[in-house]
Amino acid sequence: MIPLYFEAIYATEARPEPCSAAVALRPGELQSAARVRVYDETGRPVPTQARVTARHPDGSARWLLVCFIARVPAMRSAVYQLSLDGGEEAEGFPPLEATPAGLDAPGLSLRVSERPGALFESIAAGGVSLGADAIGAPELIDARGDRYDFAVERWEVAECGEVCATLRAVGWHSLRGEHRYKGEIAVTVWRDSPAFELRYRLVNTSLEPLAIGSLTIAHRRGRGANPRSAVGISNYKTRTQIGEGGAPVSVTIDDQFLLYEANEHNAEVFFGTFFADCTDETGGLCATIHQAQQNYPKAFSADACGWRAMLVPQGVGSVVMQGGMARETRLLIHPHAKEESLEALADASTRYQMPNRPRVEPEIYARSGVLEDVFTADPDVEMFLEAQADAHARCYGMLNWGDSPDAGYTAQGRGGGAPVWTNNEYDYPHACALLYAQTGVRRYLDYLLVSARHWMDVDICHYSDDPLLLGGQWEHTAGHCIGGRVMCSHQWVEGLLDYYHFTGDEEALRAAVGIGEVDLRLLETPQFKTPGETTARETGWALRAFVALYKETNDERWLAPCDRIVSHFAAWEERYGLWLSPYMDNTRIRVVFMISVAVASLMRYYRVCPQERVRGMILRAVDDLLDNARLPNGLFYYKELPSLKRFGNNPLVLEALAIAYELTGDAKYLRAGLPTLRYVMGNRAAGSAVSAKRVVGDAVVCAGPGTKGFAQLMLPVASFSAACCRAGLDVGR
């Protein structure tokens, strides 16, 4: 049995609610998810829906995603149990029903539509029956005032099991009969829940910016008497406007609202809730926008005719989606009986914003060997890493939530005076996943979920006529992609794969594979033809991506470019004696952090395909850093030029030193890194989730460092510390 821990959050017992957990497994531990079962605290099996999201080379499960129905008790913690072999009881619950025409769960029935302007033909739940016009399709109007028609091409079943079922569809926003912008729709229902989730993703499938005038999803109420309209918003206590007799009520979230809204939460976990409701004698329909404050501008209005969820309110702020950019919005739609209180609706809305998430013990992740060894036993290092993770800037805004500007790049003028967005440099989501696995602290999982969702939408090019851009990740730049480039050295995939394992969202897997495909195309360009004519990090990061994709898919097509890159490094070393990088005219220099990237990437390949030539290259590179890249105080320098030979505070070298220790067992490599570790831990200020706020363009920016810093240090510091613990070295300060 694998324990699944729920922390105490709410003062009342939850209705049956869907929960999920991702478990990393050792080779041979599980072959099939067919008999996986979760048990409650009384030992009774609960509805369970499990699937293997990745496999070891021997075919056994590497990652398992398990969804189940839980009742979390009021004001106390709970422990459910996951069994990898539930025996005969594993077949105790019938699956939900799903066809391309609709979804059926106990107490809820939906029929979807392919008619222009419609999403549903009927909705029946909570004693409420709604017709075809009850919820309209997304209504897009651009800044010029052009109104776009919307129609779905076709629905298909994406998932169906004991716990949930999902339909997906691709639709198009069309202007005068011409398809302009893609809209992706997903509808999910759950067992024992009258509510369902509607996910809508707008994709700018053009080469020009899309300035949104307004974007709305509306509910049109039927003819029931005695209507009551309501809009609620909170971060501590819910503030509700009530319109008796259907009087109009509304709330708008803009930059000024956020600037003066006091809030002490880690906003990735929770900021507040935001919902609208219309109820009459026949029942009601409530809608909640997920993380509306974080993704402002947003607005709700409600009156006797229904409610309007304004994903981009008209005349509020500026939302300009560049060509190839996407953004997803999630809504909880909750049909309910007329007796349902506003307090109960607010509670359901709040739980949607901050659901119960079961925790898997760090020991489970550590023993699996699936993740990098970041499981340090040093409490000072762990506290340092947590403080660094929590210190990052929070940046609210529909196109900015999940990212942060980099102060260094911005100060250098790389954005032409505008903020330069980090675009998840150094794979911040993967760093969050590792810290969650190491600590079991829930907010680091939420950091992963928010940042990776932004990455999938905004930081990846979803439309282009250039094959070197399409599917690629933008390098840090102004406006996330304005004037940006796609380069091997600024593309990552491991955080996307983490998001896939923790959510089951296959869009993340497709995005990671797409980045790998772009790397393949980039390696065919002229700059990669001659060894030594590019930096070590370019091919190093590409190698790391290819190895991760091979481990994820067991598809050997990802190994062929790995072999080529390894040969590239070998020829480079033979030509210059070292991995020297071109810099200024007539210079070839050691760049410590770039060499460290190459070492870490080669080691990932070595663990999959052990070769003595790879081991030799790694150790020669690290030995050279020890001999030639240190200052008299024991710190490694930044770059090998008189103008740049300053303290190198980039901690990536620590991972290279831990790797050399792993290959040799020689603690000299760890001792050489202790000055760097102590310098890094002693010279990085910690922050908090609460800081000064200011409006910068289309963002409200809470002061703090960009996410790059933590992304850069999590794996090197944790793996180096773990190696020191194994070697019996005192890290100290």
Residues 130, 191 within the same domain = yes
Whole-angstrom Cα distance, residue 194 to residue 92?
Answer: 22
DSSP letters, 251-314, are EEE-HHHHHT----S-TTT---EEEEEEEETTEEEEEEETTTTTT-SEEEEEETTEEEEEEE-T
Instruction: Average the pLDDT over 139-168 and give the result.
Output: 97
Query: Looking at this protein, which amino acid is placed at residue 659?
Result: I
What is the pLDDT confidence band of residue 699, given thresholds at 50, 70 and 90? very high
pLDDT higher than threshold 80 for residue 684: no
Q: Is residue 348 part of a domain?
A: no
Q: Determine the pLDDT at residue 89.
A: 55
How many other C-beta atoms can be found within 10 angstroms of the C-beta atom of residue 474?
28
Whole-angstrom Cα distance, residue 3 to residue 82?
Answer: 6
Q: Determine the pLDDT at residue 455.
A: 98
Residues 85, 108 within the same domain = no
Q: CB of 559 within 8 A of CB of 597?
A: no
Task: Give CA separation, 76 vs 11, 14, 269, 359, in Å.
Answer: 9, 12, 19, 15
Q: Determine the pLDDT at residue 538.
A: 87
Residues 177, 223 within the same domain = yes
Residues 79, 114 within the same domain = no
Q: Is residue 358 part of a domain?
A: no
Residues 443, 510 within the same domain = yes
Q: Determine the pLDDT at residue 233.
A: 98
pLDDT in tens, 429-454: 999 999 999 999 999 999 999 999 99
Residues 211, 152 within the same domain = yes
Instruction: Average the pLDDT over 172-186 and give the result.
Output: 96
Q: Determine the pLDDT at residue 688.
A: 61
pLDDT higher than threshold 60 for residue 301: yes
Query: Which of these, 293, 300, 286, lies nearest to 342 by C-alpha position?
Result: 286
Q: Determine the pLDDT at residue 91.
A: 66
Q: Is residue 545 part of a domain?
A: yes
Instruction: Average the pLDDT over 76-98 and give the result.
Output: 86
- Token pair of 135, please? 């919820």
Q: Determine the pLDDT at residue 90.
A: 59
Q: CB of 280 within 8 A of CB of 228?
A: yes
* Average pLDDT of the chain, as a whole number: 94
End-to-end, the C-alpha distance of the chain in Å comes to: 40
pLDDT higher than threshold 70 for residue 363: yes
pLDDT higher than threshold 90 for residue 49: yes
Whole-angstrom Cα distance, residue 720 to residue 385?
Answer: 13
Q: Is residue 363 part of a domain?
A: no
Residues 531, 623 within the same domain = yes
Instruction: Average the pLDDT over 151-155 and give the result.
Output: 96
Q: CB of 4 within 8 A of CB of 38?
A: yes
How many other C-beta atoms can be found within 10 angstroms of the C-beta atom of residue 682?
9
Of the three residues 319, 339, 359, the one that is the final residue of a domain is: 339
Give CA torsion, residues 270, 276, 279, 285, to 10 deg.
-70
| DSSP β-bridge partners for residue 152 | 171
Structural domain including 504 reads: 371-727
Domain count, the chain: 3
Reported pTM? 0.96
pLDDT in tens, 193-240: 999 999 999 999 999 999 999 999 999 988 778 899 999 999 889 999
Q: Is residue 613 part of a domain?
A: yes
Q: Determine the pLDDT at residue 452.
A: 98
pLDDT in tens, 621-636: 999 999 999 999 999 9
Instruction: Average the pLDDT over 459-483 and give the result.
Output: 96
pLDDT in tens, 521-541: 999 998 887 776 667 778 889
Task: For Cα atoms 431, 597, 470, give the angle at the middle one, nearest 5 degrees.
Answer: 75
Residues 539, 450 within the same domain = yes
What is the pLDDT confidence band of residue 543, given thresholds at 50, 70 and 90? very high
pLDDT higher than threshold 90 for residue 685: no
Instruction: Average the pLDDT over 717-729 and give the result.
Output: 96
Query: Which of these, 571, 588, 589, lies nearest to 625 by C-alpha position?
Result: 589
Of the three residues 286, 316, 339, the one that is the final residue of a domain is: 339
Q: Is residue 410 part of a domain?
A: yes
Helix axes 379-390, 708-727, angle to 10 degrees: 170
Q: Is residue 357 part of a domain?
A: no
Sorted by sequence, the CB contacts under 8 Å of residue 418 that are 6+ apart come out as 410, 478, 479, 697
Give, for 167, the enclosing helix (H) or strand (E): strand 164-175
Q: Determine the pLDDT at residue 686.
A: 67
Q: Determine the pLDDT at residue 581.
A: 84
How many other C-beta atoms can be found within 10 angstroms of the C-beta atom of residue 536?
27
What is the pLDDT confidence band of residue 690, given thresholds at 50, 70 and 90? low
Residues 84, 124 within the same domain = no
| DSSP β-bridge partners for residue 120 | 112
Q: CB of 229 within 8 A of CB of 243?
A: yes
Residues 545, 439 within the same domain = yes
Whole-angstrom Cα distance, residue 689 to residue 498?
Answer: 24
Kindly tell me the burial class for residue 208, based on how many C-beta atoms sit within 10 Å of its own C-beta (0-12, 13-18, 19 or more): exposed
Q: Determine the pLDDT at residue 584.
A: 86
pLDDT-above-90 percentage for the chain: 86
Instruction: Average the pLDDT over 591-599 and give the result.
Output: 91
Kindly tell me the burial class for residue 726, based on how many C-beta atoms sit within 10 Å of its own C-beta (0-12, 13-18, 19 or more): middle
Residues 401, 306 within the same domain = no
Instruction: Average the pLDDT over 11-27 and give the result.
Output: 93
Of the three residues 91, 109, 129, the one that is the final residue of a domain is: 91
How many other C-beta atoms can be found within 10 angstroms of the C-beta atom of residue 703?
13
Q: CB of 479 within 8 A of CB of 322?
A: yes
Lowest mean pLDDT among 304-308, 417-421, 579-583: 579-583
pLDDT in tens, 32-42: 999 999 999 99
Give CA torsion, residues 707, 710, 716, 720, to 10 deg.
-170
Task: Give CA separation, 285 vs 125, 134, 275, in Å.
Answer: 10, 9, 11
- Edge to edge, what strands does the sheet with 45-46 contain? 2-6, 78-83, 37-39, 45-46
Q: Determine the pLDDT at residue 385.
A: 96
Whole-angstrom Cα distance, residue 174 to residue 505?
Answer: 27
Residues 107, 33 within the same domain = no
- Token pair of 2, please? 């694998």
Q: Is residue 427 part of a domain?
A: yes
pLDDT higher than threshold 60 for residue 115: yes
Query: Which of these, 13, 96, 7, lies nearest to 49 by C-alpha position?
Result: 96
CATH classification of the domain holding 209: 2.70.98.10
CATH classification of the domain holding 21: 2.60.40.1180
Lowest mean pLDDT among 446-450, 505-509, 650-654, 661-665: 650-654
